[in-house]
Structure 1
Amino acid sequence: MAADATTTGEQTGERLPFHRLSAAGVRALARGEGDGAVITELLRAERSRRLLLLRALRNGLDRGGARPQDLAWFTEAWDLLEHAQRQAPEVCEDVLMSPNTGMWVSLAVRRIRGRPYEDAPHWVVLGHLAALAAAVAARAGLDFSITVPVRRGLVPLPTLGCAVLDAPEPWGTARVTGREGRLWVTGAVGEVEVPADRERHAQDWIPVRRTTLGAGARAVSLVLEELDPYRTFPHPSEPSLLSPAEAAYWESLLADAWQLLLRDDPGSAEAMRSGLMSVAPTPRRERFRPHSSTAGDAFGGVTASRPDDAAQLAATLVHEFQHTKLGGLMHLEPLSETADPEGPDTLLYAPWRDDPRPLGGLLQGIYAFFGVTRFWRAHRHTADPAYAPLAHFEFALWRAQVWAALTAVRGHERLTPLGRYVVECLSERCAQWLADEVPATELRLAQEAADDHRARWRAHHLRPPAEAVEATVRAWHRGDARPPSALTAPPVLIPDTAVRFMDGTAVLARHRLGDPDGAWRNPGGAGAVAGADAAEVLLARDDHAGARAAFTARLTGGEAPASAWPGLGRALAHDPAHRAAARLLLQYPERARAVHDAVVATTGGRVDPVRLASWLGS
């Protein structure tokens, strides 16, 4: 590949300029925004980063990172790519800047440094460069012939499509030949002649699926990515073809989501028009629990599960593109200093995760959900009246969660000057949103969901000091009027890696707002919310007395999930006689859990959890 200014230093020894964002670009990104011009700045830097990674990959191979035959194969691909770049630079740029190319070159560099991310042989991973070169040469109309990898009978040609061959082995090679504008893929068994119209589907040729959202100057062209092995993060995956009906569903919902963004979050739409390149669909998940992801190495690519509706998909695109923007910024300058390599990284509470997160991961979540909050803030006023309660809930929930996370990281000692600037800018804007009015029911449900998530997190991941628990157990047995003050000492973080479904209260609230009489009301049946037991459903139905009895029975009947303690706290919160117990269970449930378990362990008997929580809360 021809090198740009950032890649020639090793040959010349010159001190070369760095990419720098404009002051306006930094200000926009720090506020969670950024238009097409800012995205163009980030893409220029990303281009240089990919060229540097390609150079690092080649240098690593030259220094003994591959067998001689693999190196010869790689060199052949490199030479064809350089030739194609000279003949059709715009085509080469398009392939180079594909999100999948960024993912591949990053994983390939990690591979030669001893960190494999896929089960494909070394030569198959390195040989992907030949597939890239073949795709560029074919699109440029060049005459060429090159050997490329075959993956379980499939020959992906990035940005073009995928040839289907009979393959006796999972890994093999094929020859891709271009002549006078035509293209053939010849394998060990059989040959595929790619249709002259390469966007036409054939029995042995699957073209890349593209869709255009909107029209005119506000349109965006996307790849609905099914084929490229490097479309998923962080591990590559086999092609997953959409049925005609599924493809139509995605195209329809993407079009509807784009119209919502143009209306309710035009700034994000403008940025995506410049930087969103592909969406890789994954199967449907449980309702109100979609899954999506991006990777800093795959600028412009999003993976997303089948959405429930257009508004959910619009929020997902905003969420993931916020990650993309912040990842591009962090490639230029970090927001936090690297943790001490000699000690463990400090882990923090992330209101949208089951697990504790390092500072860098929490900053990414803050930035992504800030964008989500901004979308719902606008959409709740334009949504269909039947959908508006859910939109109000989403805004209120994420406003509270983002504000809580921003409050936690402000002033953190490991924030860089840029990190402090970003946090301050986001805090200033989020503080303004706190004054926005939300209907009473939706506001209450959002606050309950936020409080419950935080309490569950504490119950699962925090433990009071062992000495304090022992002292408290002794005080309980003595009948002391109140527990010792030692129990208020800072708890110890012990991550519970098995915990799931901490979002159960929020998911139940969404069902309640969207379908009050739905199947979610019957735990264990079809349509039930995963991870939500009968006691939690009773809470969602405002049956606090029934929920209290159910949680009490669980906590006195043997093994009970840690989340039962916050659940009991929510059930007691509506009883003035148990305000102290409710407060304790919602703010410090780890204390009740630890002391209860220790008392049971020492006596073998049962303990009334309400009485214990009342005493601990005194």
Structure 2
Amino acid sequence: MLGQPHLDAAAAARLRQGTPDDLLCRYAAAAAALAGLRFTIRVPTDAGHLHLPALGTAVGVGPGPATVCGTFTGISVVGSRDTLSVPAPFDAGTRVWWPLRRLTVEASGQRLTLAVDDVDPERDCYQWPAADRLDDAGLARFAALLGDAWQSIVADHPDHAAAIQGLLWAIVPLSPAAGNVSAASRRAGGSIALAVPADAAGLALLMLHEFQHMKLNALLDLVDLCSGAGPPRHRAPWRLDPRPVGALLQGTYAHLAVADFWRRHRHRAAAAGAHLEFAYWLAQSRQGAATLAASGELTGPGDTFVAGLAATLDGWHATEDVPAGVRDAVADLSVAAAVSWHLRNLRPTAATVAGLATQWAAGTARPDVPAADWGPAPPPGPAPVSGVEAAIRSRPAELPGTPSDQDEWLRRLAADPDDIDAWAGLAVALRPVDPTAVRGLTARPELVRALYAHPDAGAGGPRRLAAWIGAGLDR
């Protein structure tokens, strides 16, 4: 009972509220029932229902406390509105008893049993809302997806499969309204949460991703990998907002599994875009690992951990082939995403812009580029896919990329210097022909944008200003 996934989160919440007794009653009653003891205990209800962890929920017994009585044959629940009896082993569902349902799947002799936790009121401890209890059709669909996903994980990721067998106890379905999302909680070891995806490949991917978070959460309970709670100043390529180093570590480790999934799945998938997914997530994960290594915020064990993570990613980069067109597409996507992120998060001061404009007017060949100034943080969440990135992704993967028209982006910038898509498009267009300008646009585009709007520098034009800032970064 002490290993139930949501006990930690629920107990912490009750202790903060100063009301732990109702939770302890639930767990005591459930433990006694599973042990076949003779007992009587009063247990508070939740919206007229009584939930017993690891067993299920007595539905509609009425408000106020209910009395649970047990013997070796089962339990009875006496509530203010209804009374019911539930025989051991408590897995036979009725209109008034919703058992915690478990699914067992097998592949190549490896069996996995998971609880589908859609009844525990304490399961709502993730960043997305939990779904209501699945109906029979929904459960059957999920069971079919899980069977196929497990086949894929066992075949392609045997090490992950062995770990999942030992450590993953439950999956919490999330509300479909949340979208294609998944989550793990630091205080819910043994459980992951996800919105049931459309296919088995999507489920396998979500399981691998969130299981990485679950493993890292367990490790972080034992050893500090980061030196402290620094400010959220790091770029996570999959996020819109700047992240603290701990969150970047979580994301990078989880996306290692995403890259690993696509590394193997691309050879099964009919869509050529699967090669792009592998190469893209590999590149983004390597970027995250490099940022972590340079952060100065890791402990000794953290340095060792990130070095091992980076070695795995670098090994794939060195040995895994992708079509030439995919490499071009990933390079373009990385450039566009970097420009977009920096423009949304960095905002130079008026003094910074004035100083650079003075250097430009004086003909300084390589400006003294100051440290970045942070603007208001954008809303937290996944990085948006810009129109530029969508166009790159729609390119046939087997064809090399062709430079886009700089003039189109320059016209858009002349009309609106704050057009983030146009700055990203310009950087993509310049990538094959002007690496210095691209360096300025990917590392400090906020300075280029501000100078372009400045009366003493704007006549230089976006490309020349970007190359000038890029030259300063090479000092």
How far is the alpha carbon of 1:421 from its aligned partner? 1.1
Q: Encode CA deviations 1:317-342: one digit per residue, 9 max, x unaligned.
A: 11211122222122111112224xxx
Pairing 1:266-345 to 2, within 5 Å after superposition: 266-284=158-176, 290-339=180-229, 345=231
TM-score by length of 2: 0.85
Superposition map of 1:56-455 within 5 A:
95-109=1-15, 111-112=16-17, 123=19, 126-165=21-60, 167=62, 172-179=64-71, 181-194=73-86, 198-214=90-106, 217-234=109-126, 240-284=132-176, 290-339=180-229, 345=231, 347-381=233-267, 383-384=268-269, 386-387=270-271, 389-410=272-293, 412-435=295-318, 436-455=320-339
Q: 2:389 and 2:367 mapped to 1: Cα distance?
A: 37
Pairing 1:459–2:459 present: no
> What is the alpha-carbon distance in structure 1 between the residues aligned to residue 417 and residue 125 of structure 2?
37
Instruction: Give, in whole Å, the separation in 1 of the partners of 2:329 and 2:274.
Output: 12
Is the CA contact (8 Å cut-off) linking 2:103 and 2:143 kept in structure 1? yes
Q: Structure 2 unaligned runs (5+)? A: 469-475
Q: Are the aligned partners of 1:229 and 1:239 in contact in 2 as well (CA < 8 Å)?
A: no
- Residue type of the alignment partner of 2:104: T
For 1:224 and 1:348, locate their aligned partners in 2 and report how far apart those are by CA, in whole Å. 36
Provide the residue aligned with 2:352 in structure 1. 468
**Deviations, residues 432-470 of structure 1 (Å, cap 9, x unaligned):** 111221112333323322332222211111233532212
Distance 1:377 1:321, change over 3 A: same
Q: Percent identity?
A: 31
Q: Using the alignment, how far apart are the partners of 2:389 and 2:173 within structure 1?
A: 22
Cα drift, residue 259 of structure 1: 0.6
Match of 2:448 among 592, 597, 604: 592
C-alpha contact (below 8 Å) 2:131/2:174 kept by paired residues: no
Name 1:77's counterpart in structure 2.
none
CA contact (8 A) 1:396 1:446 kept: yes
319 and 237 in structure 1: CA distance in 2 versus 1, 3 angstrom threshold: closer
How has the CA–CA distance of structure 1 residues 543 and 417 changed in structure 2, closer, same or farther, with 3 Å as cutoff? closer
**CA distance 1:558–1:511, change in 2 (3 Å):** closer
Paired residues, what number? 464
Amino acid at match of 1:566: A
Q: Distance in 2 between matches of 1:459 and 1:264?
A: 39
Cross-structure match for 2:472: none
Number of the residue aligned with 1:496: 377
- Contact map agreement 1:472 1:483 (CA 8 A) in 2: no
Question: Which SS does the other structure have where 1:348 is aligned?
Answer: coil
Amino acid at match of 2:30: A
Structure 1 portions without partners, runs of 5+: 1-94, 113-121, 516-540
Q: Secondary structure at the match of 2:113?
A: strand
In 2, distance between residues paired with 1:106 and 1:615? 54
Cα distance in structure 2, aligned partners of 1:235 and 1:191: 35
Which of 367, 371, 379 is equivalent to 1:485? 367
Query: 2:381, 2:216 → 1: CA distance?
Result: 27
Displacement of 1:266 after TM fit? 0.4
SS of structure 2 residue aligned to 1:219: strand
Report the secondary structure of 2:221's partner residue: helix
Decide whether the 8 Å contact of 1:175 with 1:187 is kept in 2: yes
Q: Check conservation: 2:73, 2:87, Cα contact below 8 A.
A: no
- SS of residue matched to 2:296: coil
Secondary structure of 2:343 counterpart: helix
Aligned CA distance change for structure 1 residues 357 and 197 (closer, same or farther; 3 Å): same
Distance 2:391 2:168 in 1: 32
Give how far 1:590 is off. Answer: 1.4
CA distance in 1 between partners of 2:310 and 2:301 (Å): 14
- Please give the alpha-carbon distance, in whole angstroms, between the structure 2 residues aligned to 1:359 and 1:330: 13
Q: Which has the higher helix share?
A: 1
C-alpha distance in structure 1 between counterparts of 2:173 and 2:47, whole Å = 21
- The offset of 1:558, in angstroms, is 5.5
Q: 1:227·1:238 contact (CA, 8 Å) conserved in 2? A: no
Residues 235/293 of structure 1: CA separation in 2 closer, same or farther (3 Å cut) = closer
Deviation at 1:598, TM superposition (A): 5.5
Letter in 1 for 2:353: V
Let me know the Cα RMSD of the aligned residues. Answer: 3.4
Distance 1:275-1:551 versus aligned 2 partners, 3 A rule: farther
Judge which range, 271-280 or 187-196, deviates more: 187-196
SS of 1:492's equivalent in the other structure is coil
Q: Report the equivalent of 1:570.
A: 428
* 1:210 CA drift (Å): 1.0
Distance in 2, Cα, partners of 1:463 & 1:254: 46
Rounded Cα–Cα distance in structure 2 between residues aligned with 1:561 and 1:237: 35
Pick closer, same or farther for the CA change 1:355–1:334 going to 2, 3 Å.
same
Instruction: Give secondary structure in 2 for the equivalent of 1:240.
Output: coil
- Is the contact between residue 224 and residue 278 of structure 1 (CA under 8 Å) also seen in structure 2? yes
Q: 1:51-81: CA deviations, max 9, x gaps?
A: xxxxxxxxxxxxxxxxxxxxxxxxxxxxxxx
Rounded Cα–Cα distance in structure 1 between residues aligned with 2:305 and 2:26: 40
- Matched residue type, 1:493: W
| Residue 501 (structure 1) shift | 5.3
Q: Any conservation in 2 of the 1:315–1:372 contact (CA below 8 Å)?
A: yes
Question: 1:406 and 1:216, CA in 2 relative to 1: closer, same or farther beyond 3 A?
Answer: closer
Aligned to 2:471: none
* 3-state SS of paired residue (1:377): helix
1:270-323 Cα offsets, whole Å, 9 max, x none, are 00000011111113479xx73211122211100112223222221221121112
Which residue is 1:70 aligned to?
A: none
**Alpha-carbon separation, structure 1, partners of 2:403 and 2:177:** 29
Q: Distance in 1 between matches of 2:240 and 2:151?
A: 33
Moved more, 396-405 or 259-268: 396-405
Deviation at 1:127, TM superposition (A): 0.8
Q: Is the 8 A contact 2:44 2:65 kept in 1?
A: yes
3-state SS of 1:226 partner: coil
Equivalent position of 1:5 in the other structure: none
Q: Select which of 439, 458, 464 maps to 1:614.
A: 464
- Cα distance between partner residues in 1 of 2:257 and 2:444: 30
CA distance in 2, matches of 1:352, 1:403: 12
